[in-house]
Structure 1
Amino acid sequence: MTSPTTWRPGAADDPADACPITPVVDLIFSRWTTPILWTLQEHGTQRFVELERRIGVTPKVLTQRLRQLERDGLVQREIFAEVPPRVEYRITELGSSFRPVFAALSQWSGQHMADVEAARAGYAGPLPR
């Protein structure tokens, strides 16, 4: 018999049920999402071109990610009726709620990435494809 915390896959099981943080990880740690949120958290409201320069992402990908973040309520877009039009992006209160998560990950990185790099350097097995 398995314990209540032991997950064993079955035909009808959803893999996301195996780890309750999977939806959050998918939301926040998809490619380019974290750098966008980090930049808005650290540097405040930014125009599109400022984000593009700071992060080094293509305009197409930045547009896609900003739309997703806006849809998810993590970023707010404000359009100013000027000529030429000005658009600014800011992190929302919901997006800012990830601040402690980012702080913890930053601390973990500072404490452990050297160990990860050392483990990688000493790894003798085949590299994953």
Structure 2
Amino acid sequence: MSSPDRYLRAIYALERSREGDTHVTTGAVADVLDVHPSSATEMFAKLDDRDLLRYEKYEGVRLTERGRARGRSLLENSCILQRFLRDVLDVEGYREEAQAIEPVLDPEVAERLSTLIDRRSQCPRCFDEESGRCGHMGE
């Protein structure tokens, strides 16, 4: 997964965990991605230029509609791939394998994989921010 995509997915997941119409802080994104806040700020500027989010200094970020759609798609594909690897192929290290495959996973392939799993209508709302995985995955 490209660096901008990692940020969009993380911000999307963090936005979903917020109540009300609040910004996602730079620190929260930096913590989730294990990067320095200044690195996060640099990426925010790039994503803002691409109309994927709005960055306000000292406030944080909010995804635009384009950014939100991309973040949702990335998170959904991650959930689909993890569940396919675990439930259909019985891959023991499915999370690590999914991370390796995600950067090259075509959205059409993800959609086809989703027909092979018990995909609930709440995907990706099933994503658990604390554990960093689909809420239907269990331990």
1:108 is aligned, of 81, 84, 98, to: 81
Q: State TM-score, norm by structure 1.
A: 0.52
Q: Higher relative CO (CA 8 A, sep ≥ 6), structure 1 or 2?
A: 2
The alignment's TM-score, normalised by the length of structure 2, stands at: 0.49
Structure 1 letter corresponding to 2:80: Q
- Structure 1: gaps spanning 5 or more residues: 1-28, 80-85, 121-129
Measured in 2, the distance between the counterparts of 1:104 and 1:39 equals: 13
Work out the CA distance in 2 between the residues paired with 1:42 and 1:116. 23
Call closer, same or farther: CA 1:102–1:50 in 2, change over 3 Å.
Answer: closer
CA distance in 1, matches of 2:77, 2:25: 28
Moved over 3 A (4+): none
1:71 matched to 2:43? The reply is no
Judging changes above 3 Å, is the alpha-carbon distance between structure 1 residues 78 and 102 closer, same or farther for their aligned structure 2 residues?
same
Q: CA deviation at 1:60?
A: 3.3
**Greater CA radius of gyration, 1 or 2?**
1
Q: What residue in structure 2 maps to residue 50 of structure 1?
A: 28
| 2:62 aligned partner | 90
Is contact 2:5-2:74 (8 Å) kept? no
CA 1:36–1:111: 2 relative to 1, 3 Å: same
Give the root-mean-square deviation of aligned CA atoms: 2.5
Most deviating of 102-111 and 67-76 = 102-111
Alpha carbons of 1:59 and 1:43: their partners in 2 closer, same or farther (altered >3 Å)? closer
Deviates more, 1:108-117 or 1:45-54: 108-117
For structure 2, the residue ranges without an aligned partner over 5 or more in a row are: 16-22, 98-139
Aligned-residue sequence identity (percent) comes to 16
Question: Which secondary structure does the structure 1 equivalent of 2:54 belong to?
Answer: strand
How many angstroms does 1:77 deviate by? 1.2
Q: Quick one: which amino acid aligns to residue 35 of structure 2?
A: V
